[in-house]
Amino acid sequence: MDLASYADFAVRLVNSEEPDRGTDTLTSVDTVRSLFGSTSARASALADEADLPRLRGVRTRLRGVFEAAADGEDVRAVNLLNSLMVEYPVSPLVSGHDDLDDTGRPNWHLHLADNAPTAAANYAAVACMGLAIHLTELGVDRLGICQAAPCRNAYLDTSTNRSRRYCSDRCATRANVAAYRARKRQEAQRALAEADQD
């Protein structure tokens, strides 16, 4: 498995809350389990009510990483992420499951073990490691916060020219339409002001 893909765990967790809209979808053990997706059945099975406040705390700290990166505060983003990684260490394992080469031999690759004692600790470790790999391979400026108010969702910029500003096509469209309408209003006001001067 591509370890950078684990960065999506961080995005999923951060985006389980929309602070500017006052919404939080991290409300049940089932929600915790759904964060894991189809990976890590063992860690997902560990989920219980105690994981909710733990993951909310991790979520707040991960949002801080994305916000610092979006504000151009690279050192702060790295320091915040490092503090999480110290608190939630990972255990890498070499695996060859379900992935064979042409001769039937395993294609060995790294996975992150799900051997932490709680679902929250497992999730945090994987999310932080994935984010660290994404950050070190692509740069701190590849972590962002959606610029379409009031969204504020986190995203990973994987564009070729580092140009991503929105978390989704929907937010990009909404922001572009709002900007277009604002320009049209300004043009109309300017035209009205010029007409009044005549």
Tens digit of each residue's pLDDT (9 = 90 or more) over 114-158: 888 999 999 999 999 999 999 999 999 999 999 988 889 999 999
| Superfamily the domain 3-140 falls into | Jann2411-like domain (1.10.3300.10)
Tell me, what's the pLDDT at 123? 95
pTM: 0.85
Domain definitions of the chain by residue range: 3-140
Q: Specify the residue for token string 């979006």.
A: 70
Encode pLDDT of 62-116 as tens digits.
999 999 999 999 999 999 999 999 999 998 889 887 777 888 888 888 888 888 8
Q: Is-contact 91 117, C-beta < 8 A?
A: no
Q: Write down the pLDDT at residue 198.
A: 66
Residue 145, CA distances (Å) to 15, 93, 149, 155, 164 in order: 10, 32, 10, 6, 10
Looking at per-residue pLDDT, the higher value among 44 and 76 belongs to 76
* Integer Cα distance of 178 and 175 in angstroms: 5
53/37 Cα distance (integer angstroms): 20
Q: What is the pLDDT of residues 11-37, one digit of tens each?
A: 999 999 988 888 999 999 999 999 988
Tokens of 198: 């005549």
